[in-house]
Structure 1
Amino acid sequence: MPDFVIPTRTRGRATLTELGLGGSQLGNLYRAIGDDDARRIVDTAWDNGIRYFDTAPHYGLGLSERRFGALLRERPRDDYVLSSKVGRLLEPDPNADGRMDDEGFDVPATTRRRWDFSGDGVRRSVQESLDRLGLDRLDVAYLHDPENHWEQALAEALPALVELRDEGVVGAIGAGMNFAEPLIELIRDDRGVDVVMCAGRYTLLEQADDLVELAFERGVGVVAAGVYNSGLLATPRPGPDPMYDYAPAPTHLVARVEALATVCERHGVTLPDAALAFPLRHPAVVSVVVGAASPEQVADAVDRHHRPIPDALWSDLVAAEMISPRSANFHQSHTQELP
């Protein structure tokens, strides 16, 4: 039995624990972690009730998928939800010559990524992910960062995912990216998506209200990722050289985060506590996915998830014009309407 119970939320075909573990660090994002540490990260997540795990071929050139596959293979298959992504095929690189990956992952560049949102590419990507994972199905498959390949993604990749869902190879389908507008288009145009993952755009710093409101109206789930905005909201106060959207944080945003932290502290709440809690206030959001480079970071996220946040904090943030009143008002009006 887990030490904690993480509640689940359901929207359409997606039933996810409110807290999910992202797999980029298991792909050695920015620094290498050993297999033993990867095991401890997944074990800690499991022991604390997390049952949603997200990965992608992109993460460590397949390393994250291989690790998740090895570690989750020991668990009952129907007890967890695993998502992966399509759009980048991995191919052998005969010219690697001992080079390391140049896209942020501390792994040898023995393979290279090739963008492919064709129907055949999607089917190949899913099958290769299943091979690396050692599974016979994906619970969720997302188009991964399709914004620069939008026409092909809509015309070929998405219909291929629909077919794979109909065949039972994947359970739910959607798209994951750092931009809200294309996700809004997918939902508005009734493209058949079940769930979308939005990184960094529904947070204490940015509220993509149009996205979550439309998703709620259409019965589509939203997975909020990047809720710490590349680390800017990950500490009680911004540290030295803070980052935002994978780049140095602008001065005006750092000042805004300082102001957010001050309001949080008045209510006995830390900034990262509020950052994790905020997206889950909206009934369209089915899960918040966080990455972890150590078991301690997993345990910290679980502790934050269970910490109560006074309603007065959100009211004060709205009054100070630091978060959107639309988010607060929508939450108050629809708290009991989770399907």
Structure 2
Amino acid sequence: MGPRTITSTPVELTPLGFGASGIGNLHRVTPPGDAEAAVGAAWAAGIRYFDTAPHYGLGLSERRLGAALRDRPRDAYVVSSKAGRLLVPNEQPRGVDDEGFIVRDDLRRQWDFSHDGVLRSIEESLERTGLDRLDVVYLHDPDDQWRQAAGEAMPALAELRDQGVIGAIGAGMNQSAMLARFLRETAADVVMLAGRYTLLDQSALDDVLPAALESGKSVVAAGVFNSGLLSRDVPAAGMTYDYRQAPQPLVARALAIADVCATHGTVLPAAAMAFPRTHPSIINVTLGMRTQEQVERNVRLHHQHVPESLWDDLRARGLIRRDVPTQSGQGRGSQCP
């Protein structure tokens, strides 16, 4: 399966994307050499879509990603970043960031979905990455700020897109209901849906995925491992689901899905990566990666054959919803990232 275009835009995404939160020291320190090697391995594997954000490591992810890509042909890859959190001086630093990234907290995040805030955010992201442009810009987690995000930030992004400064615009969130509103009610071309269309959570079928089909717009799937529980062949107690310890019933369900995967000649994480692509609106799966080894493992899983009969079996056993669609060819292993 080759690159797919974000509907009504010139932007093409490879089916597998590189999520750069990990190289921003999410939860643990990633040495600079590991970050550079991870981006290099992704490039060698044919991955050409890279997603970052100011939030990730208080700018560290953007700086590292930009440095790793700087000598690559600019027209050969796509970079997305996000707006909504400005980075401003922290008047009361405590030493280490308190939002999950192991970095100094000389800066802090300041919510800002105003027109000027979006323009400033993009300008500062360009400075940190050293790139000449951002191909895609998402509004980042506007859960509590719909009015300003829809009324000021999205029109600001639309102006830049219509001027040719940005290729595509949208929003990225861990919930699906508001993303449906962005698709239906704003100029968004694409949304990044985190964790709400996975083997353990198909709630996006109730809102954002129908909205994408109705509006003819595109969806990027992230968080397909639900922060960990679907990332191993055999799930275990103590693993995380949506960044918290997974409840035992979910662990049991993940184990049951893993058993069915085995009977179909595949493994749970390969199925978790293939599953979102069964929906016709989902054009890309983006995974967080921080080392060369992680990239190479994810690419192997991406290429692993996942038979469409698996989805039928999971439906029949009540392990996924019966209204999960199957798009012929999307659930099969691909020969290119």
TM (norm. structure 1) is 0.93
Task: For 2:127 and 2:249, locate their aligned partners in 1 and report how far apart those are by CA, in whole Å.
Answer: 46
CA shift digits 1:62-88 (9 cap, x unpaired):
000001111111100000000000000
| Structure 2 gaps, min length 5 | 332-337
Task: For 1:213 and 1:159, locate their aligned partners in 2 and report how far apart those are by CA, in whole Å.
Answer: 23
Map 1:29-44 onto structure 2 (within 5 A): 29-44=26-41
Tell me which residue corresponds to 2:335. none
Tell me which residue corresponds to 2:334. none
C-alpha contact (below 8 Å) 2:139/2:170 kept by paired residues: yes
Task: For 1:63 and 1:236, locate their aligned partners in 2 and report how far apart those are by CA, in whole Å.
Answer: 31
Tell me which residue corresponds to 1:315. 312
Task: For 2:213 and 2:4, locate their aligned partners in 1 and report how far apart those are by CA, in whole Å.
Answer: 13
Task: For 1:295 and 1:121, locate their aligned partners in 2 and report how far apart those are by CA, in whole Å.
Answer: 35
1:286 and 2:298 are equivalent in the alignment: no
1:198 equivalent among 154, 173, 193: 193
1:49 and 2:46 are equivalent in the alignment: yes
Tell me which residue corresponds to 2:259. 262
Task: For 1:88 and 1:333, locate their aligned partners in 2 and report how far apart those are by CA, in whole Å.
Answer: 38
C-alpha contact (below 8 Å) 2:134/2:166 kept by paired residues: yes
Structure 1 residues 226 and 294: CA distance shift in structure 2, 3 A: same
Map 1:1-339 onto structure 2 (within 5 A): 7-12=2-7, 13=9, 14-96=11-93, 99-189=95-185, 191-207=186-202, 208-209=204-205, 210-329=207-326, 331-332=327-328
TM (norm. structure 2) is 0.94
Task: For 1:175 and 1:196, locate their aligned partners in 2 and report how far apart those are by CA, in whole Å.
Answer: 5
> Which segment drifts farther, 112-121 or 316-325?
316-325
Aligned length: 327
C-alpha contact (below 8 Å) 1:137/1:168 kept by paired residues: no
Task: For 1:308 and 1:39, locate their aligned partners in 2 and report how far apart those are by CA, in whole Å.
Answer: 29
RMSD: 1.6
Structure 1 residues 234 and 33: CA distance shift in structure 2, 3 A: same
Secondary structure of 2:324's counterpart equals: helix
CA shift digits 1:165-197 (9 cap, x unpaired):
1222211000000000001111122x1111100
Over 6 Å off, 4+ runs = none
Task: For 1:48 and 1:334, locate their aligned partners in 2 and report how far apart those are by CA, in whole Å.
Answer: 20
